[in-house]
Amino acid sequence: MTQQQPPEFIEKVKTGISGFDLLSEGGLPKGRTTLVAGTAGSAKTIFACQFLVEGIKEGQNGVFVTFEESPQAIRKNMRGFGWDIEQWEAEKKWAFVDASPKTGNRPLVSGEYDLGPLLARLEYAIEQVQAQRVSMDSLGAVFTYVPDMAQVRGDLFDLAWALREREVTSVLTSERTQEYGDISRYGIEEFVADNVVILRNVLMEEKRRRTIEILKYRGTPHQHGEFPFTILPDQGIVVLPLTANSLERKSSRQRVTSGNAELDGMCGGGFFRDSIILVSGATGTGKTLIVTEFLAGGVNNGEKCLLFAFEESQEQLFRNASGWGREFEQMEQEGKLKVFCRYPEETGLENHLVKIKQLIEEFQPDRVAVDSLSAMEKIAPLKGFREFILSLNAILKEQRIMGLLTANTTSLMGGMSVTESHISTNTDSIILLRYVEVYGEIRRGLTVLKMRGSKHDKEIREFTIDESGMHIDKPFRNITGILSGTPTYMTQSEIDRLGSLFEET
């Protein structure tokens, strides 16, 4: 009886590129070649360099073969990310194979072009630094030297075979002429590589959106679809793996205060400890006040709180909070509160998300408030904004942090905003704030529209604001249409008539 052999799995090498290893479920297949294709400016060279940089940090040396830019230009361009390539070269951790064209020396090809000398130089460099990783940027330059496509294809197969024989993990870059369509410019490169990764830099609604997609990963699992990524000065490429977030999370039954005793009563005793709450209303209805009371309530309970403000400066927030009897400045000095203010237009949405994640990891808050999400809507296409919200919710849920997010309605009297429509299904509780016109006077109304897993007050209650904060009062009577933005006063006779329609017989 023959003994059954265990299945042979393909080992993966962690790239170290933030988010990519989660997206690729472990990194690049070890000892194989991966084609990274993209249009001009899609960050192919950064990916190729970062692959080597992160390898060196893990003790895996690398060789960079450059067909276009000179090594001097690459050293200079990558210094902005804090990567000192020259130092690694001196330490025998990084080696260049320079196949870039020289100024005033146009390549002249007569007869068959031979990649043999290049292979010899590459093997020598691998031997010299004991490389485990190789990056080649970019294959398209080879085609400009060799007019015979059949010969190029054969030579590239020889090159890929040689890299596999050396058991090095390789990244080959190649240009595309369009974001969606043919994988590579010459239609050959993707057949040579074992795996294909596509980088895109798409113009959507007059805004650029970078995405990464694993198109082919021979014999190994990976996440499917496009995922946004950004490029940061001190980190390089950072991928945001949205669908890698799972629903296998624990939920708390512990109740904590909203910071307002009357609102706690409407919510059945307070918010759940790890819930996400959306507060929606028109400008001036009291959203920032709810945020203020939410954070102050947390600090009073001995919790650490973090506020991301995208509409008001820190000084404005401190002044307003003080006017409601909450001393944010003192809380921050005591290390119980951290306030981060930035205008949305200062950077891209992905960069904001990375910063939010970084501050949460550093400060380790129990509560997070974002005021407001609607301000972020203006700086990204709808698809990008939806991904931002999903990622933000996932970050809070993963770390079991209670979050309170605010959104503006476009209409002064009610209705649903784009922000609200995108986030409402992903939140545990929704609180609506509305203006109500009663006989020529503007009043404010509040209702708890949704609270997952709990009974709650379903009435629309009037509230007032004074120097001590928000005071929730009795429900509005004799008025309908508040949530739709068309409040209508009803006479007592009409109420009696409607009530009689539902009397038990």
- Catalytic machinery residues: 68, 311
- The phi and psi torsions of 406 (rounded to 5 degrees) equal -115, 150
Parallel, antiparallel or unpaired: strands 169-175 and 195-204: unpaired
Tell how strand 461-466 and strand 441-451 pair up: antiparallel
Of 256, 207, 39, 19, give the one whose Cα is nearest residue 138: 39
How many whole angstroms separate alpha carbon 12 and alpha carbon 357? 27
Strand partners, 462: 445
Task: Write out the H or E segment, with its range, that includes residue 183.
Answer: none
3-state secondary structure of 276: strand
Which amino acid would we find at residue 138?
Answer: S
Tokens describing residue 344 = 């949305």
Neighbours of 65 (CB within 10 A): 24
Q: What is the DSSP letter of 391?
A: H
Q: Which 3 state secondary structure label does DSSP give 328?
A: helix
Residue 53 CB-density burial (10 A; 0-12 exposed, 13-18 middle, 19+ buried): buried
Residue 439 main-chain phi, psi, to 5 deg: 50, 50
Helices (H), 260-402: 261-266, 287-300, 314-323, 328-333, 349-363, 374-377, 382-398
**Cβ atoms within 10 Å of 75's Cβ, excluding its own:** 20
